[in-house]
Amino acid sequence: MPDSKTEILGGDVKSLEHAASMLRAGQLVAFPSETVYGLGADACNDTAVASIFAAKQRPSFNPLIVHVATLEMAKCIAEFSEDAETLARRFWPGPLTLVLPLRDHTGISPLVSAGLSSIAIRIPAHPVARELLAVFDGPVAGPSANPSGKLSPTQVEHVLEGLAGKIAAVIDAGPCAVGLESTIVGFQPQPVLLRPGGVPIEDVADCLNKPVARSQPTSDTPNAPGQLASHYAPNAALRLNATQPRDDEVMLGFGNTPCALNLSESGDLIEASANLFHHLRKLDSGNARCIAVSPIPDHGLGLAINDRLRRAAAPRP
């Protein structure tokens, strides 16, 4: 892994072939997805996967998501129940991650699943991510491309702010369309929402025609970052459900409200998701002590936005 220069690559085929050869050589390459930028490594290379944890300073007990190009490849890695296959066929490629039983002898580094017998897997929708996966022709482990506990990156500049010099390359494909991480669903065996995200949980329930329970963390659930109380944290404090800013606060608005930055003036949750991390970063780069945030409706993508805001507002460890 280089300790000085991070190459910035384009999304053309030649650049993606170069990126794939870096992955084959065990290097780290940040790549765009429709949700957030991912920090990619060859999922079958222990050293490469270990260097993800080092670059992010991520506690190694936190499992990673594996990205694949096709359902066929996903099925070689994980066991799909009928419900899992129904969801994959409806939402892949797209912002849904399924946690499924890991098959034997897949070659996936045990560091990816943090030694668990399950694996988190998805097919991203971003054309550059899909092309990279197709050219690489193997599973790519990829957490969000940010230092552990910090805001997820939705633009190349965000990736470089946190990881420049610590990774071999980043592929620049502009801002991420969804802007929030994928929705994570597991099965016990009934479907359970492990993290709200880019696919509204109502759509998952409609697709399966059954309710989807919220996960109740227990002592033996993985201590995953998306499940930690404080995560996605900016430097400033956050005050949620605010109607107006106090003296030493800047306002992050939603809907028709006076504010420094607005997630969506028209109250559109899709637009608000795409803006969330970028706006938080912008306000955080000023010198406000606290960011006051308008109330966000708690349905559809609003569930994921509120989840990220609550974690960003939680007391820091």
Query: Around Cβ 156, how many Cβ atoms within 10 Å?
Result: 20
Q: Judge contact between 44 and 111, C-beta under 8 A.
A: no
Would you say 144 or 154 has its CB closer to Mg ion? Answer: 144
Q: Is 114 exposed, middle or buried (0-12, 13-18, 19+ CB in 10 A)?
A: middle
Taking CB under 6 A as the criterion, the residue among 162, 225, 253, 302 binding ligand TXA is 225
Please list, in sequence order, all residues whose beta carbon lies within 8 angstroms of the beta carbon of residue 310, skipping any fewer than 6 positions away.
Answer: 240
Query: Around Cβ 26, how many Cβ atoms within 10 Å?
Result: 17
Fill in the DSSP letter of residue 144. Answer: B
Which option in ligand TXA, Mg ion, none does residue 93 bind, with CB closer than 5 to 8 A by kind? Answer: none
Q: Judge contact between 193 and 38, C-beta under 8 A.
A: no
Would you say 123 or 290 has its CB closer to ligand TXA? Answer: 123
The piece of 41-49, 61-69, 232-240, 291-299 that touches ligand TXA (CB under 6 A) is 61-69
Decide: helix, strand or coil at residue 102.
Answer: strand
Would you say 139 or 197 has its CB closer to Mg ion? Answer: 197
Which option in Mg ion, ligand TXA, none does residue 113 bind, with CB closer than 5 to 8 A by kind? Answer: ligand TXA
Q: Is 106 exposed, middle or buried (0-12, 13-18, 19+ CB in 10 A)?
A: middle
Taking CB under 6 A as the criterion, the residue among 9, 32, 42, 63 binding ligand TXA is 63
Shortest reach from residue 185's CB to Mg ion, in Å: 17
Shortest reach from residue 225's CB to Mg ion, in Å: 6
Fill in the DSSP letter of residue 226. Answer: G
Q: 195 — phi, psi (to 5°)?
A: -155, 125
**Dist. CA 169–CA 171, nearest whole Å:** 7
Taking CB under 6 A as the criterion, the residue among 19, 30, 68, 120 binding ligand TXA is 120
Would you say 16 or 141 has its CB closer to Mg ion? Answer: 141
Would you say 45 or 113 has its CB closer to ligand TXA? Answer: 113
Which option in ligand TXA, Mg ion, none does residue 154 bind, with CB closer than 5 to 8 A by kind? Answer: none
Shortest reach from residue 230's CB to Mg ion, in Å: 13
Interface positions with ligand TXA (CB under 6 A): 33, 35-36, 38, 63-65, 95, 97, 99, 113, 116, 118-120, 142-144, 181-182, 184, 186, 194-195, 222, 224-227
